[in-house]
Chains A and B, each alone.
Chain A
């Protein structure tokens, strides 16, 4: 869907066919966790349709899993692929901030 263009952020080295691996850390189904998942899903469908995978990690079930990605606050989204790892904290309701964080959009000047 997204063709390589001038707007393509230089750091987003993913090709059109590269699969994005995203991991969402939640604490059970707290409202922010649910909202984050919903926002992520909508965002992916709009910008990464057909080339993303979302893994939901419930830290209430196993808090130790937080160590791998040094999670502090919940919800937190981690971009595992493409490199480099990026973290976005919060329920992803600020779409602009999320897109910038995921390097799907360049930081505003």
Chain B
């Protein structure tokens, strides 16, 4: 009992001493300023009283700013964080204390950040890292500096860069968009320019090709006039005549397609029966089709189909389609051409063959310039691959459409022209006068003719041709010589080339018209250009007529036929 009491006293004494120690140490802690908050029990409630201090403004600043702030030990352990950082990292503030900052960084950035934070013990650092949060990853900028007040401590500022990165990306996307647009614009501008140059080149090429064709054509015609009994010479002559006509047609197509592309072609539209178009087209390529032993079936309605078209141009389109069908159908094939009223307001012309057909993938391309459905095979046939392009563009100029159909290779093709019907179905009484008038070639009175052309071959061959028909011909190769020749020779007719070197054809014409002695001379312009504008300019310079080179013999003859009859006074004067 006594022993126990003694033991009890000893324990009690220990406890008292411990309590006293605690009380003493509490007082010591308070008095030495180691404590800055107290628990207060008031009305059975617990409150924490925090001692305010002169550092309050700074604390508020740290707590309220938008960046996350922390102080870290050398091993990155977090001792202090503001509420912003806890919010940014998505972790309760109390859990953050004692954890390591690099635990919140994605694996890939962890070593980089640790190394940087180690450097921050002695210098300022800044790194951009990706922070992992429960709801995803976000970019952040981490700046860290030595916290000089304590050894081996650093202070860290963490900024959420999500908004900034988004802005940067938007800016980059915007700039990329700008760059792409500028690039696309310049590319399309370059393409347009290249396209324009191509058109220009084609026009010049066609024009340049056409010039030498004039004398060739005249020469061949001349050879035909002279005639030869030699069968070889006759055959060769016929071959040359055919090939030159082919060449002229190709160059004409090339010129036409250039004009259509540049929109400088003028249509002379009239109300015309589409059946007439078909008739005339079939007429002009009947031989072409017959040479290939094709059977041609024409199926026309018993009623007229009035369409508003340029007759010559529409014939050109249909001829193209017929020749195309003949070319791409093996010998002995079958070609059908039909016309019908397909709807209330349109006429349909259809050219069908049982020939080579078109691959489905090429159906949309064959109307492109220089595209032929099968380039290797089609090389056996002449053509530049511009006929369909020209035909479609011409049809479109008439407000119509031209489309192609084919069931595939070897299954034949079908080309369909659809044209709007003329509003009134009354037709122009007769077909307009054909370009090549049917004036009888000879039986013309002899004329005095001056030919002015700097191309001596052109002048010479035309001269020969005219002399052969009994005319008296002089040639001059430039403007001044032409003026001299005209006043000496007193011609009835002058063929005057426009493109002369130095003094051009217009100037020569104006000077000739100013000469009263030559008052009634007929002047005909010879030009590589035949637009309405060119013709008007010729008229203004005093020309009576304007022929496009190479002038067909038929045209020359109709010009001669249109000269006034020869009368005595004129003869006397000229012989004087």
Interface contact B36-A74, CB-CB below 8 Å: yes
* Selected interface stretch from B73-81, B217-225, B325-333: B73-81
CB of B109 within 8 Å of the partner chain: no
Q: How far is the CB of B165 from chain A (nearest CB, A)?
A: 30
Complex: chain B residue closest to A67, CB-CB: B46
Stretch of A1-9, A12-20, A25-33 contacting B (4+ beta carbons < 8 Å) = A25-33
CB distance B48 to A74 under 8 Å? Answer: yes
Query: Is the Cβ of A54 less than 8 Å from the Cβ of B98?
Result: yes
How long is the Cα–Cα vector from A66 to B153 in the complex, in angstroms?
Answer: 30
A50 CA to B50 CA in the complex, in Å? 33
A32 engages B46 (CB within 8 Å): no
Contact partner, B55, options A31, A33, A73, A88, Cβ 8 Å: A31
| Interface pair A74/B97, CB less than 8 Å apart | no
CB-based contact B26/A60 at 8 Å: no
Judge whether A75 and B47 touch: CB under 8 Å. no
Give 1 or 0 for each of B442-467: 1 = CB within 8 Å of chain A CB. Answer: 00000000000000000000000000
- Are A30 and B94 interface neighbours, CB within 8 A? no
Residues of B within 8 A of A (CB-CB), count: 34
Closest chain A CB from B58 CB (angstroms): 10
Among A27, A41, A89, A93, the residue within 8 A (CB) of B77 is: A41
Within 8 A of A (CB), among B33-50: 34-39, 45-48, 50
Asked whether A27 and B79 contact (CB < 8 A) given A33-B37, A71-B39, A72-B38, the answer is no
A23 to B50, CA, bound (A): 20
Contacts of B342 in A (CB 8 A): none
Pairwise interchain contact A89-B48, C-beta atoms closer than 8 A: no
Q: How far is the CA of A31 from the CA of B150 in the complex (A)?
A: 13
Report how far A44 CA is from B515 CA in the complex, Å.
126
Contact A34 B38, CB 8 Å, known A56-B97, A73-B30: no
Nearest CB of chain A from residue B336's CB, rounded to whole Å: 97
Check A72–B79 contact: CB distance below 8 A.
no
Q: A72-B39, A73-B37, A74-B39 given as contacts; is B94 within 8 A of A90 (CB)?
A: no
Q: Does A80 make an interface contact (CB < 8 A)? A: no
A72 to B35, CA, bound (A): 10
Q: Chain B residues near A75: list those with CB within 8 A.
A: 35, 37
Q: Are B26 and A89 in contact (CB under 8 A)?
A: yes
Contact, CB under 8 Å: A32 / B34: yes
| A41 closest partner in B (C-beta) | B77
B376 within 8 A of A: no
How many angstroms from the CA of A31 to the CA of B51 in the assembled complex?
A: 10
Q: Once the chains are docked, how many angstroms separate the CA of A63 from the CA of B35?
A: 17
CB < 8 Å: which of B38, B73, B81, B97 contacts A73? B38
Interface residues of A in 72-109 (CB under 8 A from B): 72-75, 87-94, 97, 101
A37 and B79 within 8 A (CB): yes
Interface-centre pick from B38, B39, B45 (highest chain A CB count, 10 A)? B39
A30 touches B39 (CB 8 A): no
Chain A CB count within 10 A is highest, among B29, B51, B77, B98, for: B29
Query: Is residue A38 within 8 Å, beta carbon to beta carbon, of the partner chain?
Result: yes
Footprint of B on A, CB under 8 Å?
26-34, 37-38, 41-42, 54, 56, 58-61, 63-64, 66-67, 71-75, 87-94, 97, 101
The 8 closest A-B pairs by CB, nearest first: A90-B34, A90-B29, A27-B37, A74-B37, A63-B46, A32-B36, A73-B35, A89-B29
Q: Beyond the given A34-B79, A61-B94, A72-B26, could you list 5 further A-B residue pairs with CB under 8 A, ordered by the A residue number?
A: A26-B37, A29-B93, A32-B37, A41-B73, A74-B35
